Structure 1
Amino acid sequence: MADNALGRFLRARREATTPPTTGRRRTPGLRRGELADRAGISVEYLTRLERGTDRSPSGQVLSALADALAMTADERVHLYRLIKAGTTCAPPPPPALRPTVRATLAALEPTAAAVLSPAGDVLACTPRFREISGLDDEPNLVRFAFGPRAQAHHPDWDQVARDRAAALRAAADLGDPTAAALAFELSITAGAAFTDRYDAAASLPPTTGTEHWGSHLVAFETLYLSGEGELRLMVVFSQH
């Protein structure tokens, strides 16, 4: 992260935020103490973040600061990118799919089907899955569920969001690094819409059931593939 970009951004947003009183003030925007109270952190910790002496805040802290500063969706994404820019560890590459797995997908056409990673990445799919899933250029089911188009695509969004968060929580709890990294990302970019469901996840997500995808009511079956990687084959049947 170049030259404490995170600290500068947080301070600029704090100073641009309307203070709770309109009386004469020596400093613009919120005071550090006011922002710290809103975010539920100490003034000392906020000072370290703004000065750049602490550049690795948790997702929970960043989400609380984003809420306290009423950040827009674009500002939340920028906040996450600032943190990501200071990370030197590259995510692990996606696992290679066996030829027999790809052949299985081909044999399922024209049915909607996809091979998913534990973190919800679509590693391969049939054309029909791409057509009705609504993903377009987004390659991850969980990120899509907490993105700007999800609620319009999923009339039953609340249940879909809970199930996607539970699936990500299960993968992260089992030590999947990509799932943990995505949970950190969404805690910032999606805020409480994600963290409330992620933190409350108390059971495994369903492996079968129904969901609304656009105008389609779909039934799905999820099968775990043999071998390393905990990959899943999701087969989706349109009900109408």
Structure 2
Amino acid sequence: MNDNELGTYLRTWREAVTPAEAGLPAGHRRRTPGLRRAELAMLAGISVEYLTRLEQGRDRNPSAQVLGALADALHLSLKDRMVLRRLTREADGGDPVLCAAAPPLGRTVRPTVRAVLDSLEPAPAAVLNWIGDVIAHTAGYARLVGPLGLLDDERPNLLRYFFTDERARETHPDWDRVADDLVARLRHGAPLREPAVTELADELTVTAGAEFADRFADLATTPRTVGSQEIRHPQAGPLRLLNETLALPDDGQRVVVHLPADDTTAAALDRLNGRRPGALFAVPETPVRETG
């Protein structure tokens, strides 16, 4: 795992912002399309030497004022600013208050969460923890993903399935996009110092190689709370699903609900669940507005 994540994050964003985006002339003979260190340092009002120390990991505790100036210069969104602040805390050994408040990695759900899950039937829905363990699900979810092989393991894990089971690639035409999101969620939604997170990351780095490792090293990709995916289902045929994620931060868990994106998928899921048509309704897909 990268032990200079803060520096890597800053350098990645510096190299991604063009001089034009920062209001600077492009000039000639640039070795990178992004900003030079001197340019970012000037925009943020800090010295080149100090920015170099930050990027090289020789200084891991910048002030809030410096972070704000760098975020402004790089035009970071609110979400990306939160990642920057989080990486600062990680680099400094962790924020004691945040670490103390972090819930343990759970593999059971509260009765009220279980009741909410039951109320979602027959929609495919599941509760996952930080590392992607499927710890509870609806019967509709089992009928959807069971034939895909996701629930074959005694302790099913979404990341392990996606990166080590060939059936995941065969049944998900948009495998790359879903894989990007899963790894981004592990990186940005889980406490990286949690042993189970480290163990899973190390395991998948060995078993999946660069497919996982390169994604895990990409600090710029953040997870989506809403999205869509396609599935080539061996029983129901091609499906288009919209995904909604509901966070349970106090439990270190999230509820993921899959809803049909069109009438054909709704009817196919009804047949899969042994229901009459109309049990599930297609949800119109609307553009997601980016904030920040």
Same fold by TM-score greater than 0.5: yes
Residue 260 (structure 2) pairs with residue 238 (structure 1): yes
- Helix, strand or coil at the partner of 2:245: strand
Alpha-carbon deviations, 1:79-135, whole Å to 9, x = none? xxxxxxxxxxxxx87443111111111111001110010111111001111222331
> Which amino acid in 2 is paired with 1:136?
L
Indicate the residue corresponding to 2:152 in structure 1.
137
Residue 239 (structure 2) pairs with residue 222 (structure 1): no
- Helix, strand or coil at the partner of 2:144: helix
1-structure distance, mates of 2:111, 2:190: 28
Unaligned runs of 5+ in 1: 1-91
RMSD: 1.8
1-structure distance, mates of 2:248, 2:175: 27
Written as runs of structure 1 = structure 2, the 5 A alignment for 1:13-162 is: 94-133=106-145, 134=148, 135-138=150-153, 139-147=156-164, 148-162=166-180
2-structure distance, mates of 1:210, 1:94: 27
1-structure distance, mates of 2:248, 2:179: 24
> Which amino acid in 2 is paired with 1:157?
W
Give, in angstroms, the shift of residue 174 of structure 1: 4.1
Farther off after superposition, 118-127 or 201-210: 201-210
- Helix, strand or coil at the partner of 1:149: helix
1-structure distance, mates of 2:111, 2:227: 28
2-structure distance, mates of 1:93, 1:117: 7
Contact 1:118 / 1:168 at 8 angstroms: preserved in 2?
Answer: yes
Alpha-carbon deviations, 1:185-219, whole Å to 9, x = none? 00000111111111124232101010112221110
> Which amino acid in 2 is paired with 1:200?
D
1-structure distance, mates of 2:119, 2:128: 17
- Helix, strand or coil at the partner of 1:130: helix
- Helix, strand or coil at the partner of 1:183: helix
Give, in angstroms, the shift of residue 170 of structure 1: 1.9
Judged with a 3 Å threshold, the aligned counterparts in structure 2 of structure 1 residues 159 and 110 are, in CA distance, closer, same or farther, namely same
Judged with a 3 Å threshold, the aligned counterparts in structure 2 of structure 1 residues 208 and 187 are, in CA distance, closer, same or farther, namely same
Judged with a 3 Å threshold, the aligned counterparts in structure 2 of structure 1 residues 172 and 181 are, in CA distance, closer, same or farther, namely farther
Q: Which has the higher contact order (CA 8 A, sep 6+)?
A: 1
Residue 188 (structure 2) pairs with residue 166 (structure 1): no
Alpha-carbon deviations, 1:155-196, whole Å to 9, x = none? 011111111111122245543322221111000001111111
1-structure distance, mates of 2:209, 2:223: 21
Unaligned runs of 5+ in 2: 1-103, 233-237, 266-292
Give, in angstroms, the shift of residue 226 of structure 1: 5.3
2-structure distance, mates of 1:150, 1:175: 28
Indicate the residue corresponding to 2:211 in structure 1.
193
Amino-acid identity (%): 43
Contact 1:132 / 1:213 at 8 angstroms: preserved in 2?
Answer: no
TM-score (norm 2): 0.47
TM-score (norm 1): 0.57
> Which amino acid in 1 is paired with 2:173?
P
Aligned residues: 148
Contact 2:126 / 2:141 at 8 angstroms: preserved in 1?
Answer: yes
- Helix, strand or coil at the partner of 1:217: strand
